[in-house]
Amino acid sequence: MERNNLYPVFLKTKNLNVLIIGGGFVAEEKLTFLLKSSPDAKVLMVSPMFREGTIELSKKGCVTLVEDTYKKKYLQGRHMIVATTDIPEVNVQVWKDCRAEAKLVNVADNPPYCDFYMGGIVTKGNVKVAISTNGKSPTTAKRLRQFFEEVIPENIDDLVKNLNEYRKTIKGDFEEKVEKLNEFTKSLVEK
């Protein structure tokens, strides 16, 4: 059976510089999901044109729009790059340039040219669940996201905050604290 070997991380995008190359529907979709999850993300978008929706969306976050075609100079100072143009040669060039500079890159809808995928995300207060199908089925990730949005209770954030306060009061070393918290939270996952 094939296995998902991706390593999930939660990035502090306000500390990173993100570049989105392209201004069409896919670029807007990537920006929408990025800002929905991380409204404080710092994003530069480069494209000869931008959709009206992208222009409106850019005003809600820390997003800079530059009307231009892709040039390697735009990679400077960027940590994470998403290529979404409808010109395959440009996307492959972006990938090559990113490889040469050890930059993380995602060429939209082209898994062999991706260092990372932008998966389905569920957020309830401090709780965030990320879903990956290894780039195989965004539709399945979407359905799983909808499922988790329904089953994770709205008051989960209160529980997290209360457990954090409880954790501060527990005496003992790390192992003892983990054991007490495990015992205390066991009822959360009992069937």
Distance CA 140, CA 146 (A): 10
Q: Is the pLDDT of residue 186 over 80?
A: no
Cα distances from 65 to residues 56, 81, 97, in angstroms, run 11, 15, 21
Instruction: Please state which of the ranges 27-36, 100-109, 141-150 shows the lowest mean pLDDT.
Output: 141-150
Per-residue model confidence as pLDDT tens digits over 115-140: 998 888 888 888 899 998 887 887 88
Give the start-to-end residue ranges of the domains of the chain.
13-117, 119-152, 156-188
- The two counts, helices (H) then strands (E), for the chain are 6, 7
- pTM, whole model, 2 decimals? 0.85
**In whole numbers, what is the pLDDT of the chain averaged over residues?**
90
Distance, first Cα to last Cα, the chain: 27
Helix, strand and coil percent figures for the chain, each rounded to 5? 45, 20, 35
Mean pLDDT calculated for residue range 82-97:
97
Please say whether the beta carbons of 135 and 114 come within 8 A: yes
DSSP state at residue 23: -
Q: Is the pLDDT of residue 67 over 90?
A: yes
Please say whether the beta carbons of 60 and 84 come within 8 A: no
Kindly state which CATH superfamily the domain 13-117 is placed in. NAD(P)-binding Rossmann-like Domain (3.40.50.720)
Token couple for 16: 């990173």
- Supply the pLDDT for residue 56: 96
- Supply the pLDDT for residue 37: 92
3-state secondary structure of 58: helix
Per-residue model confidence as pLDDT tens digits over 18-62: 999 999 999 999 999 999 999 999 999 999 999 999 999 999 999
Please say whether the beta carbons of 132 and 121 come within 8 A: no
- The fraction of the chain above a pLDDT of 90, given in percent, is 60
Distance CA 178, CA 184 (A): 10
